[in-house]
């Protein structure tokens, strides 16, 4: 099936400021490569025969190896698992879609390889691990506030480009800290977009991929199994909460063991925006070393992004402008003073039914846990250091197997968008 290639704009005037996307052919040129297709032998040579010593990570799509070409250029080579059922033409159409997407805050696809039933994707190598590693890794130094703000803003720009400057728009569907790669200057690059059709999730009704992403899932997914660009916005809001609080979305060592970080944070977000006191919310490791105006903007963005109602969440371009300080928080919050809008309240039944949402979420959590116990070890294990885990990225309208199975199994828990 042919997938239309997203139109790549030469400039962006709605959200991304001076961060203009590169021309579609720039990836290969930038890497000094004369072609964007590679032979299997070339990639085997670059990875020392796909040596285990070069493995960067493993996920639902397969292994990711570090590769070095003869000219010294370093890449990340994703070896997709066999048996996806994709023909050569369909694979090339999918790759063409991804390869036309270029932005400084998105991981660029350099090229690909088709050899028999082998399918490999070649990406630029991003050398400084993931946001998850630096924010939550054991014995890692505290990430300072300017770095956290830089990562939030850059990631927002990359996601805004996928949503608003690609045609058709691309829904990532797996925004999380482990999918934000960092370069040597801690500039972020969003990874793993546009890959839903390369996933193999046929052997479990809810894959470990979903379990690993549980804390980022939007309410509408727990209710219906459907994801939109506003689901990406919710996930981004959770990631903002990570940057603000230093907590993980699901962390049994924290006080929100029985609920998500979002439920724990919502009343604190409202209080902080009302009184300007962030002490109960902000990561203690920062020791109050942050700019209060910048913190106010990020807290307001997080609060609007994690609204229960998908329709009332902002566009990513609005989030970018708010983080930059280029729109008022009243504009971000639909004209209401931050902290006084009903959307910040966890108990406003006129906007959504919180108890119903929590019931759905608990059912989904139970379903995911059962699936994890029944699933194979292939999808289990700790997060990859490189951040290239199983993900559910996709162009608009694509749905994965576990989503359809989830919707079928949870038909008795569906609720309408009007109730969120």
**How far is residue 334's CA from residue 16's CA, in Å, rounded to a whole number?**
21
Query: In 3D, which of 317, 305, 316 has the Cα closest to residue 343?
Result: 305
Q: What residues form the annotated binding site for ATP?
A: 78
pLDDT (0 to 100) of residue 22: 34
Q: Region 142-158: what's the mean pLDDT?
A: 99
pLDDT band at 370 (very low <50, low <70, confident <90, very high): low
Of 14-18, 88-92, 169-173, 416-420, the one with minimum mean pLDDT is 416-420
Neighbouring CB atoms inside 10 A of 155's CB total 29
Bridge partners, residue 64, by sequence: 57, 78
Rounded to 5°, angle at Cα 391 from 385 and 394: 140
Query: How far is Cα 86 from Cα 303, in angstroms, rounded to an integer?
Result: 41
Distance of CA 412 to the CA centre of its chain: 29
Q: What are phi and psi of 323, to 5 degrees?
A: -65, -35
Pairing of the two strands 109-115 and 62-68: unpaired
Output the pLDDT for position 75: 97
Predicted pLDDT at 84: 55
pLDDT averaged over every residue in the chain: 75
HSE, side-chain direction, 13 A CA sphere, residue 319: 35
- Residue 147, pLDDT score: 99
* pLDDT mean over 15-36: 43
Q: For residues 123 and 18, which has the higher predicted lDDT (pLDDT)?
A: 123
Domain with CATH 1.10.510.10 in the chain: 131-419
Q: Could you give the residue range(s) of every CATH 3.30.200.20 domain in the chain?
A: 26-124
Under the banding of pLDDT at 50, 70 and 90, the label for residue 62 is confident
pLDDT value for 221: 80
Beta strands, E only, 162-247: 170-171, 180-182, 188-190
- Mind listing the pLDDT tens digit for each residue in 127-142? 999 999 999 999 999 9
How many angstroms separate the Cα of 299 from the Cα of each of 242, 312, 327, 334? 11, 17, 15, 16
What pLDDT was estimated at residue 311? Answer: 92
CA nearest 27: which of 115, 118, 107, 131?
107
In CATH, the number for domain 131-419 is 1.10.510.10
20-30 pLDDT, tens digit each: 433 333 334 34
Q: What is the DSSP letter of 418?
A: G
* CATH fold group of domain 26-124: Phosphorylase Kinase; domain 1 (3.30.200)
Give the H/E segment covering residue 344.
none
Highest mean pLDDT among 76-85, 187-196, 284-293, 407-416: 284-293
- Catalytic (active site) residue 283: no
Annotated binding site: 78
- Give alpha helix (H) positions in 173-228: 208-212, 219-224
Catalytic residue among 19, 117, 144, 174: 174
Q: How far apart are CA 14 and CA 169, in angstroms?
A: 15
Q: Please check the confidence at residue 345 and state whether its pLDDT lies above 50.
A: no
Percent of the chain's residues with pLDDT above 70: 62
């Amino acid at each position: 099936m042919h997938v239309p290639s997203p139109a790549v704009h030469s400039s962006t005037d709605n959200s991304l400021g001076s961060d203009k996307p590169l021309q579609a052919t720039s990836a290969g040129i930038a890497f000094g490569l004369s072609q964007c297709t590679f032979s299997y032998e070339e990639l085997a040579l670059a990875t020392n025969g796909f040596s285990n010593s070069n493995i960067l990570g493993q996920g639902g799509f397969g292994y990711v190896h570090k590769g070095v070409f003869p000219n010294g250029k370093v890449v990340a080579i994703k070896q997709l698992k066999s048996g996806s059922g994709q023909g050569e033409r369909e694979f090339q159409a999918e790759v063409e879609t991804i390869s036309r997407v270029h932005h400084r805050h998105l991981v660029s696809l350099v090229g690909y390889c088709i050899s028999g039933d082998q399918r490999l994707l070649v990406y630029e190598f991003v050398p400084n691990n993931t946001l998850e590693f630096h924010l939550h890794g054991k014995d890692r130094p505290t990430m300072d506030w300017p770095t956290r703000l830089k990562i939030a803003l850059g990631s927002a720009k990359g996601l805004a480009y996928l949503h608003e400057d690609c045609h058709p728009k691309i829904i990532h569907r797996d925004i999380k800290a482990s999918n934000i790669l960092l370069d040597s200057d801690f500039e972020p690059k969003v990874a793993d977009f546009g890959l839903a059709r390369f996933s193999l999730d046929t052997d479990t009704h809810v894959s470990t991929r979903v379990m690993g992403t549980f804390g980022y899932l939007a309410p509408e997914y727990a209710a219906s199994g459907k994801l939109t660009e506003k689901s990406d916005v919710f996930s981004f809001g959770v990631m903002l909460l990570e940057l603000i609080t230093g907590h993980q979305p699901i962390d049994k060592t924290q006080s929100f063991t029985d609920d998500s970080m979002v439920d724990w944070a919502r009343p604190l977000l409202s209080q902080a925006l009302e009184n300007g006191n962030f002490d109960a919310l902000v990561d203690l490791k920062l020791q109050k070393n942050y700019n209060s105006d910048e913190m106010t903007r990020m807290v307001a963005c997080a609060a609007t992004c994690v609204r229960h109602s998908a329709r009332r969440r902002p566009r990513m371009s609005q989030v970018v402008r708010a983080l930059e300080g280029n729109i008022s928080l009243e504009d971000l919050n639909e004209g209401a003073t931050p902290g006084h809008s009903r959307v910040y309240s966890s108990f406003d039944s006129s906007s959504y039914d919180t108890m119903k949402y929590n019931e759905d979420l608990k059912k989904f959590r139970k379903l995911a846990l059962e699936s994890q116990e029944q699933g194979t070890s292939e999808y289990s294990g700790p997060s990859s250091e490189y951040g290239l885990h199983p993900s559910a990225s996709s162009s608009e309208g694509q749905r994965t197997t576990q989503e359809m199975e989830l919707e079928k199994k949870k038909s008795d828990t569906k609720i309408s968008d009007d109730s969120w």
